[in-house]
Amino acid sequence: MIFRRVLRYFKPYIGTIIFAVLCTLLVAGSTASMAYIVKYVIDDVFIKHDKAMLAILPFAFIGIFFLKGAGKYGQQLLMVKVGETAIMEMRNDLMKRIQERELTFFEKNGTGSLLARMLTDVSLMQNSVTYFVDFIRYLSTMLGALFVLFQKDWSLALIVCLFLPLAYFPIKRISKLIKRNTKKTQEKIGGLSKVLLEAFSGIEVVKSFGTEERELKRFRAEGETVLYYTLKRSRINSATAPILEFLASFGVAAVIWYGGNRVISGAITPGDFFAFLSALLMLGEPIRSIGNVNNKIQQAIAASERVFEIIDAPSDPCETVGDRELGPEVEKVSFENVRFSYNTREEVLKGVSFEAKKGEMIALVGESGAGKSTIMKLLPRFYGITGGSIKINGEDTRSFTAKSLRSRIAIVNQSTFLFDDTVHNNIALGRPTATREEVVAAARAANALKFIEELPKGFDTLVGERGDTLSGGQKQRIAIARAILMNSPILMLDEATSALDSESEKEIQAALSELMKGKTTLVIAHRLSTILHADRIIFMKNGEVAEVGTHDELTARDGDYARLCRIQFGSA
Ligand code: ADP
């Protein structure tokens, strides 16, 4: 089945493949015809001393080698081209499919394992293309040699054929071992990449806590398991050729014994015998190599099973449901009795309901772990809810395409992810077509213009991996500029001003209030001072809405919110 699945990628190149196979046949044919040369050398030159034949044979020899070389060149070149192109398309599909998965998929698989699939599994498949070409060549050489064998002496050839099936059983067993081993190795390589990723991306933590030893130890441990499986595979690989050769020696021994008797009794000429023997020895190379090539192909099959497991996996509903476009007019966002749990663990939201109208600012407060960030992640459908519904303009968000839904929501998070690209492109992320003037205006509104203009190349400065060359506050201002530029009807701010000094915070707050006008805004704030004027404050407790109201209403109520206020502002 996996074979058929892979084959689909090769279908468009069928013409090239046929041409490559013709080249292969040329190689096999010229190899097999060498056996005839041997016959003429022995019978006509050595025994009959035929001078005319001697004059022809060297040219025939050169001619055959020329054809063989041309065939080999064509076959290799064409197949590699087809193979590499098909693999690239497979890798692109893999990337596309992975991006279409919901967040849970990434949390479950881990970046390390996904990287291993994208890189090493695909490259295992890539290697196999060349091996597959060899496989075809060996197979056709074998068929050519068998043809010569039967043509020379069918009774001798039958003896050979009796021994051929012997090779089947070890090859079958070895294939299974290799496949299982490859899957294990690839899993372990995933583990290795995970340790590497953590050690490098967390380098600051590693250095400040001095955990280099620990990382090295983890790396060694993962490396040792990889080594264990690699050596195991190498043992299988190294045994393959000797086992097959040993089996083949039985066939050759039988041929020498039986064929020698036939020469002595005069049934065949010595030339026939040697032609037969050289055809037989020609079988040796393919048989031995087919074992090794088969091992590589099994490896590739294991890798493709891991790759197609992802390409062919069913889509995640929260990424694919809905076929309508959500327009730019958003009058109302509502959560109705929304229930949700990550994986199968305990419910994180236990029936949350609230409403946010156009122009309103809704603040979510509550202790950490109450489910505030989760609410923010459910509106853009990063996860699928398990109960209730989330509606925009009274319609379930599941009726809209994920793309259009998300394009109407601008998010500013605590941690801003920047791409290793220019400041301009990082700001224009949600609207790549924005002009420089628009980007500058957004940066100005986010109070980011001054620091950007001081960068070495201004808006064209590269920010480094994850924006490492910028300060936390600068990154946050870029994130706010991003949201301003997107100009979406829904705005979600998660502690948006946490990384700013109080001076910038004031300015940004002003910019944000301007931005919020006419939009529907959800804010998570730990510092209550920023949400005193919210239209409604929702106090979350253990995945439930505990209190709802304005600041004045809630303080008058003297509940959890009032208590939180007293802690933050003092009893006054
Ligand atoms: P808050 O934003 O109020 O601090 P969160 O919404 O982040 O709370 O978290 C609510 C609960 O969900 C917590 O118990 C947290 O451990 C859990 N949680 C958050 N994110 C995930 C996740 N990706 N996978 C599993 N559990 C999660």
* 187 and 96 together in one domain: yes
Cβ of 370 less than 6 Å from ligand 1: yes
Specify whether the CB–CB gap between 226 and 184 falls below 8 A. Answer: no
Amino acid 499: pLDDT = 62
* Total Cβ atoms within 10 A of residue 243: 17
Number of structural domains, the chain? 2
Q: What is the Å distance from ligand 1's center to 309 Cα?
A: 29
* 197 and 81 together in one domain: yes
* 443 and 305 together in one domain: no
Note whether residue 562 is domain-resident. yes
* 285 and 390 together in one domain: no
Specify whether the CB–CB gap between 28 and 141 falls below 8 A. Answer: yes
Distance CA 533, CA 107 (A): 37
* 185 and 216 together in one domain: yes
* 126 and 191 together in one domain: yes
Closest by Cα among 544, 522, 540 to 531 = 522
Domain boundary, last residue among 258, 288, 314 = 314
* Total Cβ atoms within 10 A of residue 381: 24
Cβ of 368 less than 6 Å from ligand 1: yes
Tally DSSP H helices, then E strands, for the chain: 20, 10
Q: What is the DSSP letter of 266?
A: T
Q: What is the DSSP letter of 316?
A: P
* 79 and 134 together in one domain: yes
Note whether residue 520 is domain-resident. yes
Q: What is the Å distance from ligand 1's center to 191 Cα?
A: 25
Note whether residue 192 is domain-resident. yes
Burial profile 555-564: b = 16 or more Cβ within 10 angstroms, e = fewer: beeeebbeeb
* 347 and 292 together in one domain: no
Note whether residue 220 is domain-resident. yes
* 412 and 308 together in one domain: no
Q: What is the largest CA-CA distance in the chain?
A: 122
Domain assignment of residue 516, given as a range: 332-569
How do strand 520-524 and strand 536-541 relate by DSSP bridges? unpaired
Query: pTM of the prediction?
Result: 0.78
Both tokens of 567, joined, read 């802690």
Ligand 1 closest atom vs CA 376: 6
Cβ of 538 less than 6 Å from ligand 1: no
* 196 and 255 together in one domain: yes
Q: What is the Å distance from ligand 1's center to 543 Cα?
A: 10
In this structure, the dihedral spanned by the alpha carbons of residues 465, 467, 470 and 473, taken in order and rounded to 10 degrees, is -150
Closest by Cα among 30, 90, 38 to 64 = 30
R_g over Cα of the chain: 35
* 201 and 299 together in one domain: yes
The CATH number of residue 419's host domain is 3.40.50.300
Note whether residue 82 is domain-resident. yes
In degrees, rounded to 5, the angle at the alpha carbon of residue 429 between the alpha carbons of residues 423 and 435 is 70
Closest by Cα among 131, 107, 96, 102 to 307 = 96
Q: In what order do the strands lie in the sheet with 520-524?
A: 409-412, 490-494, 520-524, 361-366, 536-541, 544-549
Strands (E) in 235-360, as ranges, are 332-340, 349-357
Note whether residue 347 is domain-resident. yes
Q: What is the Å distance from ligand 1's center to 341 Cα?
A: 9
Q: What is the pLDDT along the chain (572 residues), one digit of tens a residue?
A: 778 888 888 899 999 988 988 998 898 888 888 888 888 888 888 888 888 888 888 899 899 999 999 998 998 898 888 888 988 999 999 999 998 888 888 988 888 888 888 888 888 887 777 777 778 878 888 888 888 888 878 888 888 888 777 878 888 899 899 999 999 998 898 889 889 888 988 888 899 989 999 999 999 999 999 999 999 999 998 988 888 888 888 888 888 898 899 889 988 888 888 888 888 888 877 877 888 888 888 888 888 888 898 888 888 888 888 899 998 899 999 999 999 998 777 899 999 999 999 999 999 999 888 999 999 999 999 998 999 999 999 999 999 999 999 999 998 887 788 898 999 999 999 888 999 999 999 999 888 898 899 999 999 999 888 777 888 888 888 988 999 898 899 999 887 666 667 766 777 777 778 788 889 999 998 778 878 888 999 999 999 999 999 998 988 888 888 888 888 877 55
Note whether residue 324 is domain-resident. no
SS3 520: strand
The CATH number of residue 83's host domain is 1.20.1560.10
Domain boundary, last residue among 262, 288, 314 = 314
Three-state DSSP string of 440-509: HHHHHHCCCHHHHHHCCCHHHCECCHHHCCCCHHHHHHHHHHHHHHHCCCEEEEECCCCCCCHHHHHHHH
Note whether residue 322 is domain-resident. no
Q: What is the Å distance from ligand 1's center to 282 Cα?
A: 66
Ligand 1 closest atom vs CA 524: 2
* 246 and 341 together in one domain: no
Cβ of 369 less than 6 Å from ligand 1: yes
Specify whether the CB–CB gap between 166 and 247 falls below 8 A. Answer: yes
| Residue whose structure tokens are 């319609």 | 395
